[in-house]
Amino acid sequence: MPSFRTTRRVKHTPADMFDLVADVEKYPLFLPLCEGLKVRRRSQSGEGVEVLVADMTVGYKAIHETFTSRVTLDRPRLKILVEYVDGPFRHLENRWSFQADPAGCVIEFYINYEFRSRTLGLLMGAMFERAFRKFAEAFEERANVVYGVGRRFGAQAEGPA
């Protein structure tokens, strides 16, 4: 099963980066391969945890696929878990964590997946691998746009744009 893991240090707070990644409706503005995202349902728990069910459309050239995921936004622990519900995958799981660092935040990103169709896996697999390598960079660039490049760590900022 293909997987990808990366750790990245950024000059933004863990809370800012959590908010940026949690703002899934904005993904089509900056995330590679993401053509659309629609949140179907939101539910809250009393513990600061929100669960979304969302449809994401990804594409490259003539290939376009939509899949449904359950996204658990665990604000108290600064963790995000994405679990596959339906679509072209046999399996998909994605995890984010955000930890304080003296210069800002350490982001850990992990994803593993397997396409249902071997043909689709061959067509999209290499493109997904390249896209995942650019995800962390895309989120960091988005954070610089939303929160400012030279913003001093610890300063207050407005929420995701």
CATH of the domain at 139: 3.30.530.20
Q: Across all residues in the chain, what is the average pLDDT?
A: 86
pLDDT score recorded for residue 65 = 85
Residue 121 located in a structural domain: yes
Which pLDDT score, from 0 to 100, does residue 158 have? 39
> Is there a domain that residue 93 lies in?
yes
Q: Are 60 and 124 in contact (CB under 8 A)?
A: yes
Return the minimum-mean-pLDDT range out of 10-19, 24-33, 108-117: 108-117
- Length of the chain equals 161
Residues 109, 111, 87, 140: is their CA dihedral positive or negative? positive
Q: What DSSP assignment string belongs to 120-156?
A: HHHHHHHHHHHHHHHHHHHHHHHHHHHH-SSPPTT--
In a domain, 159, yes or no: no
For residue 73, tell me if it sits in a domain: yes
Asked whether residue 156 is assigned to any structural domain, the reply reads no
pLDDT digits (tens, 9 = 90+) for 32-48: 889 999 999 999 987 99
Say how far apart CA 30 and CA 26 lie, in whole Å.
8
Structure tokens at 47: 């513990």
H/E element, 65: strand 63-74
pLDDT tens-digit profile of 126-146?
A: 676 777 778 778 998 999 999
Q: Does residue 157 lie in a domain region?
A: no
Which domain range does residue 42 map to?
3-147
* Domain-located, residue 160: no
Domain count, the chain: 1
* Residue 21 in domain: yes
Digit-coded pLDDT (tens) for 89-116: 899 999 999 999 998 999 999 989 888 8
